[in-house]
Amino acid sequence: MTAVPLPYRVTANRPESTGARTLELRPAGEALPPFAPGQFAMLYAFGAGEIPVSVAGLDDGALTHTVRGVGAASRALCAVRPGTHVGVRGPFGTGWDLPAAAGHDLLVVAGGIGLAPLRPLVRAALAAPGGHGRLNVLIGARTPEDLLYQEELPGWGRPYCGVTVDRAGPGWSGDVGVVTMLLDRAVFTPPATTAFVCGPEVMIRATARELLHRGVPAHRIRVSLERNMHCATGHCGHCQLGPLLLCRDGPVVGYDRAEPLLAVREL
């Protein structure tokens, strides 16, 4: 982890879904230490600003990030051209910690851009099938155009339990509705399951409630939380959620810790 951004060269920038782009970055000189799935980087678009973005891929020495343009810095990152440079700090935060789920059934539940931080976890699980029980991947998006990694998903094979959208368009023949309805299709033994959940907070709460109801222990429901972040090193306090500084103690936390905090509206 470095205090100052290191220059990384943009080696690819491709459209991913409506408003989101996937960037591939390679060190221009010194490389950052390795990232783990679930951790994030601070990406600095020169002249525009620095924002937290999860790592969405870790192949072949490159850092992959999927960014949705919502404001000045994220739009500037979406617009970077191959051959130019961005600043990168990291790795920051807690990861999904796949090794702690060894032997368990895995339940990956993603909403919208939340699939980005879950992608390296799924790829790691697919690469080591003997390390865990059954792998289930459940994906929700607002519309078919908002779905990430559409070309890659079929290659995930059997664990890919399904995709549902809130609003279908012409040509969509898949499921319509909230992602929790796909849980009936997932194959898992609740007391021996670890769940990994990322998406809008309302989706995280609904998914966790349903999993608790089915008997998955709260501490084995790992959720990734977002708050505004600035320093990413646990000093500035921008990302405080109750007793947690999410850049340091998160973004991935067990639902046993997250539930009471998410229940307080002002936090």
Residue with tokens 């029980």: 133
Structure tokens at 116: 């980005």
157 sits near ligand FAD (criterion: CB under 6 A): no
CA distance 191 to 26: 41
93: Cα separation from own chain's centroid: 12
CA distance 132 to 103: 4
Shortest Cβ 136–ligand FAD spacing (Å): 22
- Of 34, 71, 237, 260, the one binding ligand FAD (CB under 6 A) is 71
Shortest Cβ 130–ligand FAD spacing (Å): 29
CA distance 43 to 56: 13
40 sits near ligand FAD (criterion: CB under 6 A): yes
Angle between helices 201-214 and 255-262 (to 10 degrees): 120
Q: Which is nearer to ligand FAD, 54 or 193 (CB)?
A: 54
Q: Which is nearer to ligand FAD, 70 or 202 (CB)?
A: 70
18 sits near ligand FAD (criterion: CB under 6 A): no
Residue with tokens 């973005």: 53
Residue of minimal Cβ distance to ligand FAD: 71
138 sits near ligand FAD (criterion: CB under 6 A): no
49 sits near ligand FAD (criterion: CB under 6 A): yes
Determine the 3-state secondary structure of 97 from DSSP.
coil
Residues 86-125 that bind ligand FAD (CB under 6 A): 113, 116-117
Strand partners, 221: 195
Binding residues (CB under 6 A) for ligand FAD: these are 40, 49, 51-54, 66-68, 70-74, 113, 116-117, 226, 228-229, 251
